[in-house]
Structures are given as C-alpha cells and as structure tokens.
Amino acid sequence: MTGPEPERELIRRVSPFAIPAVIVAFAVGALFGASAGWSAAIAIAIVYLNFVANALSIAWAASISTTLVMIAALGGYAIRLIVYTVALVLLNRLSWFSPVAFALALVPAIVALLIYETKALSGRMQADLWTFGGAHRS
C-alpha cells in the first residue's frame, strides 16, 4: 500500500469481500438451519463493521498525533471485544439466534481479517505508514 492512509486503503481492499463473506456464512450456516445461517451472517457483518469503524478511527487519529493513534488502536481493540461480547449477549435473547453458529463464524472471520491485515502491512514500519500534519521529516 502506498499513500498516507493505509487504513482507508485496507477498507477499500476488504470491502469487496464483505457481502460475499456474509452470503457464504449464511449459506454454510443454513445447512444447519435458517437460524444458524442468520446468526453466522450477523457475525460476519459485525466483524466487518467493527473493522471499518476501527480503521476509520485510526485514520482520523493519524491525522492528529501519534499519541492519539495509540489511544485509538488500544481503545479500538478493547471496544471491538466489548462489541462482540455485547452482541452475543443481546442476540442470545432472541429465540431464533444460534450462539454456536455466531461464534463459529465470528472467530474464523476475525482471524482471516487479522491475517489479511498483517499480510497487507507486512514489511513496513507502522510509523512509516502515517503522515502527521505539520510534522517534518529530516
């Protein structure tokens, strides 16, 4: 990736796979019932939306300061875990929801996304990926 905002580039690269991933998760889950299909599809959608929200928050933070990047990255990590947990707890109240299908789709989706992010950013120093307004390199 080239350019000052690697997070936005990652969003552009990952986004075309979001809808097909939801469809595949639904299809595989639906083999075990419609509720499993919907639960798996919801998990994929939550992973994608969390990824986009986190990437946008880091891109925004990178336009301000390195300290804010660290806060957004660490805070985003914690918030993502909280969102997954709250979603599971709230959705589990629905009679049709399958927590097993949700978890079986959520975990591989998170791992696959992390692997993709790692491969896309490999060989680069994270600090070299951002530019900060007013900062001068020597």
**Count of domains for the chain:** 1
Tell me, what's the pLDDT at 78? Answer: 92
Q: What percent of the chain has pLDDT over 70?
A: 86
Residues ≥6 apart with Cβ < 8 Å to 26: 37, 38, 40, 41
Tokens of 65: 């300061």
Contact criterion met (CB below 8 Å) for 40 and 25: yes
Confidence of residue 121 (pLDDT cuts 50, 70, 90): confident
Residue 132 lies in a domain: no
DSSP class of residue 131 equals: -
pLDDT in tens, 23-81: 999 999 999 999 999 999 999 999 999 999 999 999 999 889 889 989 998 998 899 99
Provide the 10 A C-beta neighbour count for residue 76. Answer: 19
User: Who wins on pLDDT, 75 or 129?
Assistant: 75
Contact criterion met (CB below 8 Å) for 106 and 43: yes
Residue 130 lies in a domain: no
Residue 127 lies in a domain: no
What is the pTM assigned to this prediction? 0.81
Residue 136 lies in a domain: no
User: Who wins on pLDDT, 114 or 127?
Assistant: 114
Residue 85 lies in a domain: yes
Residue 1 lies in a domain: no
User: Who wins on pLDDT, 3 or 117?
Assistant: 117
Q: Is the pLDDT of residue 138 over 90?
A: no
Tell me, what's the pLDDT at 63? Answer: 87
Domain that holds residue 94: 6-121
From 34, 66, 58, select the one nearest 117 (Cα to Cα).
Answer: 58
Tell me, what's the pLDDT at 1? Answer: 44
